[in-house]
C-alpha cells in the first residue's frame, strides 16, 4: 500500500502550509532522478543494508574534530524517518529510525525503497515527492525530467526549504555539475 500522508506532511499542514503531493509509481519517474539521488545522497544504496558505516564513522570523526556537521543518513534511513517519525533530534528518535530502517531493508527491495523515498521526500515548502516537485519547478511530469533537472533537484535535497532549483545559488549549480558527473556510475534500478 502506498503512503498517502507522512508525519512531516501532517506537521507542515498543521503549521498552516499548503501541500503539493501526487504519488507516482517508480516506472513513471524518470530513471535519471534515481541516478541523481543515489549520486547525491547515498552512493552505496545498492550494496548496504540500510546503514553506511563508513559515512557514519566520518560523521562521528568530523563531530569530534568540531568540524561542520555532515549527514550520514542513507536513502533507507531518510525513508524511515520521513515515513514513520516526527521532526526533531533525540536519541529515542535515532533508535526508532535505526529500527524502522532495519525493518524496511528486511521487507522491501531497493526498488520499493526508492519508489517510496522519491514520493515522500520534501523538495521545497509544501512540495512532497518527485511529481509535485517536477510540476512546481519545471512545469513537467516527473517522467519527463532530464538529467540536468534531476541533478539540480537532487542537489537541493540536503536543505530543500532553502535551496531551490528555480533560483539556484552558485553552490547549488556547482553541486548539480558534480552530481551530473557521477550519475553514469549509478544506473537506474530494475524492477524484479
Domain boundaries, the chain: 7-183
pTM: 0.90
Q: Are 79 and 134 in contact (CB under 8 A)?
A: no
Phi, psi of 30 (to 5 degrees): -50, 130
Cβ count within 10 A of residue 7: 14
Residue 53's pLDDT band (boundaries 50, 70, 90)? Answer: low
% of the chain beyond a pLDDT of 90: 76
Q: What is the pLDDT of residue 72?
A: 66
pLDDT digits (tens, 9 = 90+) for 67-86: 665 566 899 999 999 999 98
Alpha carbon distance 101, 84 (integer Å): 10
The domain 7-183 is classified under which CATH number: 1.10.3810.10, 3.40.50.300, 1.10.10.10, 3.40.50.720?
Answer: 1.10.3810.10
Amino acid at each position: 500500500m502506498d503512503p498517502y500522508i507522512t508525519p512531516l506532511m501532517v506537521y507542515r499542514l498543521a503549521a498552516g502550509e499548503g501541500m503539493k503531493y501526487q504519488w507516482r509509481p517508480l516506472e513513471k519517474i524518470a530513471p535519471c532522478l534515481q541516478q541523481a539521488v543515489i549520486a547525491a545522497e547515498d552512493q552505496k544504496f545498492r550494496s548496504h543494508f540500510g546503514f553506511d558505516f563508513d559515512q557514519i564513522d566520518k560523521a562521528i570523526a568530523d563531530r569530534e574534530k568540531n568540524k561542520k556537521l555532515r549527514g550520514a543518513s542513507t536513502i533507507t534511513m531518510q525513508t524511515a524517518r520521513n515515513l514513520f517519525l516526527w521532526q526533531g533530534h533525540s536519541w529515542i528518535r535515532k533508535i526508532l529510525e535505526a529500527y524502522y530502517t532495519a525493518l524496511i531493508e528486511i521487507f522491501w527491495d531497493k526498488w520499493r525503497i526508492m519508489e517510496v523515498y522519491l514520493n515522500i521526500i520534501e523538495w521545497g515548502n509544501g512540495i512532497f515527492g518527485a511529481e509535485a516537485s517536477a510540476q512546481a519547478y519545471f512545469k513537467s511530469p516527473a517522467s519527463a525530467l532530464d538529467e540536468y533537472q534531476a541533478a539540480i533537484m537532487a542537489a537541493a535535497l540536503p536543505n530543500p526549504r532553502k535551496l531551490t532549483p528555480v533560483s539556484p545559488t552558485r553552490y547549488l549549480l556547482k553541486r548539480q555539475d558534480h552530481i551530473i558527473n557521477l550519475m553514469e556510475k549509478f544506473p537506474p534500478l530494475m524492477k524484479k
